[in-house]
Chains A and B, each alone.
Chain A
Amino acid sequence: MTKELEKLSALYDGEINKGDFQENIARLNKDPQLKKTFNRYGLISDLVQRNAKKQESKVILLSNYFTRLHPMATNAITAAATVFITLIVLYQLDDDRFQVDADSSLQLSSAISSDQAKNQLLNADQNIVEHMIHIMQSNQSHNPQPLSKDWIPVGFSVNPSNPSQYSNGRNNLYFHVENKQLGLKKVKYFKANNNWIYLIPLEDGRLLTAYGDVPPTVANKMIQSINQRK
């Protein structure tokens, strides 16, 4: 029976030879239970594809915020949302594995095919995507939380008109601290072209989100400082 159902699944995908197609279509036509199963494969497809679209639209929204943030650096991202999706890569970092340099990061990005990257993104926790959108929306925070100076990378200083923004004159880094951790136990970061988002669960139960065109080689010092406090 399992083999027969497997053929039904292949028929659904049109991945069946002509002989098997006719045989399975006839079998399907006679059996109400098979019809129900076949129809439910369609129900599953619809559900999965709709959810993927919802996630995609969130990513488009996210890329729009990146554009506002760094219009010159993100032209490639805005060229097409799909390009953005294929470029973004999700990493999960163990504390002891955070020694990532630009070269190995680049190699890693190249090694991951666009399909895998896309699936990783689609499989990412929806709450995290929503959190990032929320953070981007509140970019110009009216009530910035105090930041530990240990978190600020060397050479970066605060922008007097935006206490959440730090810059070294070339790169910008924005910080947000919120009283939630989204179930994160480890540092996660997302990359899209030259932009990065770091999600760092703090010891006290809050979540530090840092984002900007600051690569791990520079942000590494920030993470190390935070980890060393443990």
Chain B
Amino acid sequence: MGLNSGDEMFVKEIKAGNAMAFEAMVLKYQPKLMSSLIGYTKSKDQAEELCQKTFIRVWQKIDSFRGDSALFTWIYRIGINLAKNDFSSSHNKKSKITESLDQAEYDVPQHLSPEAELIAEESEKKVMDFIHSLDGDTKSAFMLREIDGRSYEEIAVIANCPIGTVRSRIFRARQLILEFMNQENIIND
């Protein structure tokens, strides 16, 4: 799988040194990376630290990203490699090492990673049940985007509707899910 079309503009801008685009990308992928790293380390604190290190490394190495894989796959690989190094170092030395990331050499954006917000396992089913209860058109557009990674254009062809309608349906799904999560105190504003 190559570069997801949804990330092309982010990658291009980050390569050009756009720190705001980088921060948006961090906001986008931080939950997924955290979830993967928690799965790997079994520790939220360690995962948060690794998550931060990973994004610093991404900022440093973005020029070496050729787009052969999806952007998140590349980020994930960096994160897992850092976790492995961290693990073997702590395993060998019986203490955690502090990796030098040469931050001074790079103009690393300050706000790298917001405090990780996690969804409790018991709440996940509630959210999934809610998603399944969405009306067919809204659910279908949202699932085709989120699970299949389809572009809006492809979804428009499948659903036989204009691209603008696809965009509205996906947005509507996200808003309804967020409202539900707020109502159920799964997230808090």
Q: A52–B143 Cα gap in the complex (Å)?
A: 10
Q: Point out the residues of chain A lying under 8 angstroms from B167, CB to CB.
A: 6, 9-10, 15
Shortest A112–chain B CB gap in Å is 11
B128 in the interface (beta carbon within 8 A): yes
Contacting residues, chain B, for A103 (C-beta < 8 A): none
Q: Is B161 an interface residue (CB 8 A)?
A: no
Which residues of A have CB within 8 Å of B150? Answer: 115
A123 within 8 Å of B by Cβ? Answer: yes
Interface residues of A in 114-136 (CB under 8 A from B): 115-116, 118-119, 122-123
Contacting pair B152 A13 (CB below 8 A): yes
Q: Which residues of A contact B41 (CB under 8 A)?
A: none
Decide: A25 and B117 in contact? CB cutoff 8 A.
no
A39-B170 CB under 8 A given contacts A46-B32, A49-B32, A122-B147: no
How many angstroms from the CA of A118 to the CA of B140 in the assembled complex? Answer: 11
- Are B6's CB and A14's CB within 8 A? yes
The answer to whether B10 touches A13 (Cβ under 8 A) is: no
B144 contacts A119, C-beta separation under 8 Å = yes
Nearest-Cβ distance from residue A80 to partner chain B, whole angstroms: 14
A49–B70 Cα gap in the complex (Å)? 15
- Interface presence of A113 (CB below 8 A): yes
Could you tell me if B24 and A123 are in contact, using CB atoms closer than 8 angstroms? Answer: no
Query: Is the C-beta of A35 less than 8 angstroms from some C-beta in chain B?
Result: yes
Q: Tell which of B28, B119, B189 touches A41, judged by Cβ atoms closer than 8 Å.
A: B28
Q: Which residues of B contact A5 (CB under 8 A)?
A: 171, 175
Closest 4 CB pairs of A and B: A14-B6, A9-B171, A42-B31, A46-B32
A interface vs B, CB < 8 Å? 5-6, 9-16, 18, 21, 25-26, 28-29, 35-52, 113, 115-116, 118-119, 122-123
Return 16 A-B CB contacts under 8 Å, by A number: A13-B6, A13-B152, A25-B13, A25-B24, A26-B20, A35-B114, A40-B117, A40-B181, A42-B29, A42-B30, A42-B32, A45-B31, A46-B35, A52-B146, A113-B158, A118-B147
